[in-house]
Structure 1
Amino acid sequence: MTAAPCIESFLEMLAAERAAAPATLLAYTRDLDDCETSLRGQGETLMEATTSGLREWVAGMSASGAARRTIARRISCIRQFFLFLLGEGLRSDNPASSLDAPPPDRTLPKFLTEAEVVMLLDAAEPPAEADPALRRRLLMGRAALELLYATGLRISELLALKRDMFREGLRMLMVRGKGGRERLVPLSDSAREAVAALVHEDTDRPSPWVFPGRTPLRPLTRQGFDKVLAFIGERAGIAADRLSPHVLRHSFATHMLAHGADLRTLQTLLGHADIATTQIYTHVQAERLRDIVSAHHPLGRGDVADE
């Protein structure tokens, strides 16, 4: 049996049973194609791949300088593919089961200071003399910033929000995240008011979306939002390379921990399936502990010698 129909069935399963996003399906398609190309160069096919052939593929990715995260994702994809073939009775073994994924890079997330977030929000406040186009652009930016910083939403989750989700007095927002998983996140008064102001401004722009695109029946694109964010960042004096939707999500998480939130709560709010993903933010807790020891432990105080 050729690989093409099996790949198609595998992707259909991911979409139907795991609610995989289109971007994930596209990435997996490329991963499978990359693996198949490597195997062909070794005289193997994807359907009849051996463990040694797959290890050569992994070694080739490392030699080419592929990022650890990319290699880990591709190995995960291949493991799932052969598990699927095994479950469908198309293979009697899983040649990818013993593949070792590289440990992830432990780079700390970039985040803004609390003062910088306030600067962004202030920069998104429309001045009284603003023309209609500028006023709407700033109201859109203000609503997005309030939501991203108040809830820690992913940009895909933000742009998928619909107007009918925001009823009067709403305190908790239901969000559908990765893998179709739903979670409730608290909605601040300022975020709710910012959304209401934008929707009111768009009264003559019929759309189901909180953030409509050029065509109101479609949501704003990620690229369109990046332009709005960069514009507000420039007004706030924050460099473009320090600003992105993910930086705002990291800022939300970092500031939550700094103010006493626990990891389990943060995991729920961020929609992480595994708490190990959330633990990257524990650098904040480490800094807080150092500050506490420095301030309160006798050996950490600068005036010990004088006592």
Structure 2
Amino acid sequence: MSRYLEAFLEYLLVNKGVSKNTYEAYKRDLIQFEEFIGKPIIQADTSDVIRFLSQIENKRSLNRKLSSINSFFDFAYKRNMVDEKLKIKQAKIPKSLPKFLTKDEILKAVDWINYQENSWFELRDKALILFLYATGLRISEALNVKISDIEDGWVKVTMAKGEKQRVVPIADVALKAIEEYLHKRPCMSEWLFVNKNCDKLSRISAFKITKKYLNVSPHVLRHSFATALVLGGADLRVVQELLGHASLNTTQIYTHIQKENLKDTVLKYHPLEDLE
């Protein structure tokens, strides 16, 4: 437990005089959050809070933990421990937040893949994970990609929902991983991702791969792709196009992330925010 959290808990007991049950609830929620982000709570940012809340399915528990976090940062702001008040209003939290992973979490997991035996299976697993994160494709779309569908750094998606077609750019790091995998692959196939028999990789096998290295389903990488774009400032309509959503309403689940990111940017950089 960090000294900042200890100071807040002492404040609750001494200054606020909260009940034992309330004190224990705050303590439990905030210790859980601090352990989740792996750093002192005072260093948390909006994306840390959203990532933490996205793991919680019960809305009542989610709002209670959010209230604990907001109370801590209100305390820290009033005592000049932080320059900006980190606060997310409960009304802006949707009924279900998409679970996502950060870039560092994904790359750290990929680094665990064992290359000592130079197995083409491991190269395939790395390529699949990076491909899903780099493109945001549904797993059904990714498994239907043929080698010929990739050209000049773009992938043509031909099996999207509603039989639509779209093209999505692929990050260089994912392209490099695909090249390494295809170079070592001992069999010929039109499909990009294959199993040991050189048949198209199944959804079950893809799930086992992402579960093994990331402990999530392939769909979480799609959410991670979209979340990374929105946090980076991408327009929701661009994200909609890349994800292949028929309606912008489907993409609206990421609106809360975009609004908080824009708000943080204004508070940090707008000249009027320096005036008292």
TM-score by length of 1: 0.54
In the alignment, is the contact (CA less than 8 A) between 1:163 and 1:199 conserved in 2? Answer: no
- Alignment partners' CA distance in 2, 1:284 and 1:149: 18
Could you tell me which residue of structure 2 aligns to residue 231 of structure 1?
A: 212
The SS at the match of 1:206 is coil
Quote the RMSD (CA, aligned, Å).
2.2
Deviation, 1:299, is 9.1
- Alignment partners' CA distance in 2, 1:207 and 1:213: 10
In the alignment, is the contact (CA less than 8 A) between 1:258 and 1:288 conserved in 2? Answer: yes
Could you tell me which residue of structure 2 aligns to residue 56 of structure 1?
A: none
- Alignment partners' CA distance in 2, 1:192 and 1:294: 37
- Alignment partners' CA distance in 2, 1:174 and 1:160: 10
For structure 1, the 5+ residue unaligned runs are: 1-104, 234-239
Deviation, 1:121, is 2.9
Deviation, 1:288, is 0.9
- Alignment partners' CA distance in 1, 2:187 and 2:239: 36
Deviation, 1:114, is 2.5
Aligned partner (choices 169, 174, 178) of residue 156 of structure 2: 174
Aligned partner (choices 216, 225, 241) of residue 268 of structure 1: 241
| Residue 296 to residue 210, structure 1, CA distance change in 2 (3 Å) | closer
Q: Deviations over 1:171-203 (max 9, x none)?
A: 22110211110001012222221111111111x
In the alignment, is the contact (CA less than 8 A) between 1:137 and 1:228 conserved in 2? Answer: no
- Alignment partners' CA distance in 1, 2:140 and 2:205: 13
Alignment of 1:183-262 (within 5 A): 183-202=166-185, 204-216=186-198, 218-233=199-214, 240=215, 243-262=216-235
| Residue 293 to residue 232, structure 1, CA distance change in 2 (3 Å) | same
In the alignment, is the contact (CA less than 8 A) between 1:149 and 1:249 conserved in 2? Answer: yes
- Alignment partners' CA distance in 1, 2:146 and 2:270: 51
For structure 2, the 5+ residue unaligned runs are: 1-93
Alignment of 1:59-78 (within 5 A): none
Could you tell me which residue of structure 2 aligns to residue 108 of structure 1?
A: 97
Deviation, 1:230, is 2.2
1:155 matched to 2:144: no
- Alignment partners' CA distance in 1, 2:239 and 2:137: 12
Q: Which has the larger radius of gyration?
A: 1
| Residue 165 to residue 299, structure 1, CA distance change in 2 (3 Å) | closer
Letter in 2 for 1:200: H
Deviation, 1:138, is 1.9
- Alignment partners' CA distance in 2, 1:297 and 1:181: 42
1:295 matched to 2:268: yes
- Alignment partners' CA distance in 1, 2:241 and 2:128: 21
- Alignment partners' CA distance in 2, 1:279 and 1:123: 34
Deviation, 1:280, is 0.6
Could you tell me which residue of structure 2 aligns to residue 131 of structure 1?
A: 117
In the alignment, is the contact (CA less than 8 A) between 1:162 and 1:209 conserved in 2? Answer: yes
Q: Deviations over 1:2-24 (max 9, x none)?
A: xxxxxxxxxxxxxxxxxxxxxxx
- Alignment partners' CA distance in 2, 1:171 and 1:258: 23
1:277 matched to 2:250: yes
Deviation, 1:162, is 1.3
Deviation, 1:136, is 2.0
- Alignment partners' CA distance in 1, 2:243 and 2:270: 34
In the alignment, is the contact (CA less than 8 A) between 2:149 and 2:157 conserved in 1? Answer: no
Q: Deviations over 1:72-107 (max 9, x none)?
A: xxxxxxxxxxxxxxxxxxxxxxxxxxxxxxxxx831
- Alignment partners' CA distance in 2, 1:227 and 1:296: 44
- Alignment partners' CA distance in 1, 2:226 and 2:173: 18
Could you tell me which residue of structure 1 aligns to residue 74 of structure 2?
A: none
Q: Deviations over 1:39-66 (max 9, x none)?
A: xxxxxxxxxxxxxxxxxxxxxxxxxxxx
In the alignment, is the contact (CA less than 8 A) between 1:258 and 1:285 conserved in 2? Answer: yes
- Alignment partners' CA distance in 1, 2:123 and 2:194: 13
Count of aligned pairs between the two proteins: 182
Deviation, 1:208, is 1.9
In the alignment, is the contact (CA less than 8 A) between 2:150 and 2:156 conserved in 1? Answer: no
- Alignment partners' CA distance in 2, 1:256 and 1:297: 22
- Alignment partners' CA distance in 1, 2:201 and 2:153: 25
- Alignment partners' CA distance in 1, 2:270 and 2:147: 52
Letter in 2 for 1:231: K
TM-score by length of 2: 0.60
